[in-house]
Amino acid sequence: MKTNLYEQGMAQLERGEVAEGRRLLEQALEANPGDVEMMQGLARALDMAGERLEARALLERANRQAPTEPGPACDLSMLYLESEADARAARVLEPVLAAHPEDLQVHLYLALALAKSDPGRAQGHARKARSASDPELRQQADTLLRALESVPPA
């Protein structure tokens, strides 16, 4: 359940006011300690503040609490992908996709996670993501597909 503190904190982050957004999101999470959405918001603030390890730990906590919730899983998978932990990213996303098979962002992120280890499966997920109504998501899927199609089969 969103609180006023959460909404204000997220608005501050969107304006680039990371310190104030973080402060508000910390208060929101303190008032709602088990709220996965609050954890995800605070993790974004931590990430924006350059505190990657803290952000990852909070997202891992949120993912353990709600392993099929797309938001925290997608954010966590991106942190794993950035540190080249592709297999971990895929493991986080697979139960989310099983619970939300039509979530096209999850398909894209899983395609990214599988791109090196299983390009064929990655292409299937990227093709699915390409049907998104969101033009940015569609463009990312197209870019990934072009990259995957240019790699010769193993």
Write down the residue that tokens 């957004």 correspond to.
21
Quick one: what percent of the chain has pLDDT higher than 90? 94
| Predicted model pTM | 0.91
Please say if the pLDDT value at position 29 is more than 50.
yes
Topology alike, domains 1-66 and 67-154: yes
Instruction: Tell me the average pLDDT across 96-121.
Output: 97
Query: What letters, b where the CB count within 10 A reaches 16 and e where it falls short, cover 91-120?
Result: ebbbebbeebeebbbbbbbbbbbbbeeebe
Give residue 150's pLDDT. Answer: 84
Q: Which CATH number fits domain 1-66: 3.20.20.70, 1.10.8.60, 1.25.40.10, 1.10.645.10?
A: 1.25.40.10
Q: Residue 152 CB: number of other CB atoms within 10 A?
A: 5
Q: Which CATH superfamily is domain 67-154 in?
A: Tetratricopeptide repeat domain (1.25.40.10)
Give residue 62's pLDDT. Answer: 98
